[in-house]
């Protein structure tokens, strides 16, 4: 039996290949699309979800992960490891952290031989995914539970993300700006740049077109990482061709320790809109 298993949520935007390779448990957000329930990132890929969503946006709804979903993930993880590290999206953005803690309390009776720790990633998207991935790689290398947690904490302090929205029209769904402001911004072709800070998603700036936005976020990453090796996950909301072009550009302009493409969960894309493009990254080994 392994020493440590990693559990995270579907908002971490990890690819199926990475999840399978490192045996990462995924707690899904439930998607209700056209009257049918799907487990985000498990029953349906992001592109498939966007295709259904675009047919009838008004039929879309979500259900956050419950303590029961986390408890089931702990049960499965306990079959493969003595210890479990659960990494959740930022507690300032979701109830996931609280649900994971409730599930841990329930598991103390049901799984007394298993130690469980919960880590608030203070992030979201593939930035959260990189924390889980680094922890999973440490676990795969046979590191102790304490060492795996230390690795996760270290990457948590280094990782960030940058996104360029193709439109501001839907951002009112986050509750951060009024609907009328989103509508006016859309008419003016304003495209926001988003990033993370102190556990929240924040506006980094605005641009008038996608090319300007991509140049801006690449420059921000360049200022942060320089020539250091950088880990990058390109993210897109139903824009695979643009994501591949961005991946190629990053590959040619940066010293990439790893570089992969992933779909942006519809749970987030509902507020950012299709066409959203960007990346999560951190520098160093």
Length of the chain: 285
C-alpha distances in Å from residue 13, one per residue of 16, 18, 159, 261? 9, 10, 14, 10
pTM tops 0.85: yes
Q: How far is Cα 113 from Cα 207, in angstroms, rounded to an integer?
A: 53
| Amino acid 172: pLDDT | 43
Residue 8 has pLDDT above 90, yes or no: yes
The pLDDT > 70 percentage for the chain reads 92
Residue 1 has pLDDT above 90, yes or no: no
pLDDT tens, residue by residue, 195-224: 988 998 888 888 889 899 999 999 999 999
pLDDT tens, residue by residue, 237-248: 999 999 999 999
Average pLDDT of the chain? 90
Domains of the chain: 2-29+64-156 (3.40.50.10440), 160-283 (3.30.1180.10)
Of 37-41, 133-137, 199-203, minimum mean pLDDT range: 199-203
CB 129 within 8 A of CB 233: yes
CA dihedral 48, 51, 53, 54 (to 10 degrees): 170
pLDDT tens, residue by residue, 140-180: 999 999 999 999 999 999 999 999 998 665 554 555 544 53
């Amino acid at each position: 039996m392994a020493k440590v298993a990693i559990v995270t949520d579907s908002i971490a935007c990890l690819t199926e290949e990475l999840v399978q390779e490192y045996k990462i448990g995924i707690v899904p957000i439930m998607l209700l699309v056209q009257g049918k329930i799907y487990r985000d990132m498990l029953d349906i890929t992001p592109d498939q979800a966007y295709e259904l969503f675009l047919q009838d946006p008004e039929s879309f709804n979500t259900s956050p992960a419950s303590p029961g979903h986390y408890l089931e993930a702990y049960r499965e993880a306990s079959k493969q490891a003595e210890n479990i590290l659960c990494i959740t999206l930022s507690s300032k953005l979701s109830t996931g952290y609280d649900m994971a803690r409730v599930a841990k309390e329930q598991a103390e009776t049901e799984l007394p031989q298993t130690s469980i720790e919960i880590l608030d990633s203070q992030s979201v998207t593939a930035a959260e995914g990189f924390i889980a991935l680094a922890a999973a790689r440490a676990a795969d290398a046979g590191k102790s539970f304490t060492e795996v947690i230390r690795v996760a904490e270290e990457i948590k302090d280094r990782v960030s993300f940058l996104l360029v929205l193709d439109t501001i029209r839907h951002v009112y769904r986050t509750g951060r700006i009024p609907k009328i402001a989103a509508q006016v911004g859309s008419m003016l072709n304003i495209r926001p740049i988003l990033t993370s800070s102190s556990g929240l998603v924040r506006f980094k700036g605005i641009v008038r077109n996608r090319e300007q936005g991509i140049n801006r976020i690449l420059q921000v990453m360049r200022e942060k990482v320089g020539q250091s090796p950088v880990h990058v996950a390109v993210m897109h909301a139903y824009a695979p061709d643009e994501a591949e072009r961005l991946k190629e550009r990053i590959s040619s302009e940066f010293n990439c320790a790893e570089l992969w493409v992933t779909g942006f969960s519809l749970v987030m894309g509902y507020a950012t809109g299709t066409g959203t493009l960007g990346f999560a990254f951190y520098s160093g080994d």
